[in-house]
Chains A and B, each alone.
Chain A
């Protein structure tokens, strides 16, 4: 989920280009969310607060994408990329908890077990975090090389 960005400190893109890229990324992500939310809409009737959980996640995630893109070419970009990855991990753990939900609807007790989904999502988030760390190391390394030259 953490997008590839230009980490070369030598070539810092213009603010206009960064703003344009941030707008495009944010719009695409919102469009994807909008389409997927149509499929998940029936679930909101059964799970109270489900729509709000997804909306909060998408809002914060889009903000982080835009901020990371606007700070592209600086160390702050990597900071926000790592924040994005950590945010996904934290949000998954807070909102999904143990991955087992129970709710009562019309006298029936429903128990939904999405632990497998949670594990896969957490592992992917950890890979995203590791990638951000690698990007930061690469960035700092290039800055050091540049300073030496």
Chain B
């Protein structure tokens, strides 16, 4: 029995030495792995999608190959509801190799604003969760995650639609009409210019449309907008009370109808 015991001793000792040297060198070589994440670059595509590109550089000067390199980012709103999620996967980074890649986040602003309508009007902080996972030397898996916030600027921040003003216009042929003016103000805090239209429709108390008007909306990013929505409505058919419906249409989102009663 001595020979088998001796063989087991030699084999286990050899495997222990191998395992310890391998593990220690794998941990030690992690200091020679560098991950550089550059400044994000944002662009808006023709499909109204927000593209956020993160340039990533991975330098593997360690002793072993790196496998299953994965970067995942997700953006959540304040209620922790998922808004966007993207992955970048690199199967193998050999030792001595430098890999430059781009982690791209594609966010459909239209879908996002339709789902999270409070983002149209309210500035907020979006949660950005980033996770980087890597497998060193096929033995040790490492995952690093961080939580940060990203400011979100509302495109229709502090939207105010003031009380309509009625001005009667008397014409010689007795087809008198009202000029209805509604001041609209807001601030575009978004990172994109806002172009579109604001359509106003007036309804009498029998819910019959009495007039419509439309203005072109042009609000560059980080600017204040103020305009008077005007429409002409014939006196005949106009009742003491009723309501207006405001519809805002932009390439990024459609909002409305916003109902504003008039005349109590």
Contacts and interface: CB of A to CB of B under 8 A. Distances in A.
B139 A114 contact: yes
Contact of A134 (B5, B10, B139, B140): B5
Interface residues of B, number: 30
Contacts of A48: none
B16 A36 contact: no
Given A117-B139, A127-B8, A110 B144 contact: yes
A149 interface: no
Contacts of A117: 19, 23, 139-140
A51 B138 CA distance: 25
A67 B106 CA distance: 65
A4 B5 contact: yes
B103 to A, nearest CB: 17
Contacts of B2: 7, 138
Contacts of B10: 4
Interface in B7-43: 8-13, 15-16, 19-20, 23-25, 27-28, 31
A19 interface: no
A131 B6 CA distance: 9
A135 to B, nearest CB: 6
Given A124-B15, A135-B5, A39 B144 contact: no
A127 B12 contact: yes
Contacts of A40: 24, 27-28
B6 to A, nearest CB: 6
B149 to A, nearest CB: 12
Nearest to A120: B19
B145 A111 contact: yes
A137 B24 CA distance: 35
Interface string A101-142: 000000111111110110011001001101100110110010
Contact of A39 (B19, B25, B140, B146): B25
Contacts of B138: 116
A134 B10 CA distance: 15
A107 B12 contact: no
B143 interface: yes
Contacts of A109: 144-146
Contact of A138 (B5, B15, B139, B146): B5
Contacts of A138: 1-2, 5
Interface string A15-44: 000000000000000000000100110110
B264 interface: no
A36 B24 CA distance: 7
Contacts of B19: 117, 120-121, 124
B5 A108 contact: no
B141 interface: yes
Contacts of B141: 112-114
Given A42-B31, A117-B140, A108 B146 contact: yes
Contact of A131 (B9, B24, B31): B9
Contacts of B20: 36
B263 interface: no
Contact of B142 (A39, A110, A121): A110
Contacts of B12: 1-2, 124, 127-128, 131
A3 interface: yes
13 contacts: A2-B9, A3-B9, A7-B2, A39-B24, A39-B27, A43-B27, A107-B146, A113-B143, A114-B139, A124-B19, A127-B11, A134-B4, A138-B5
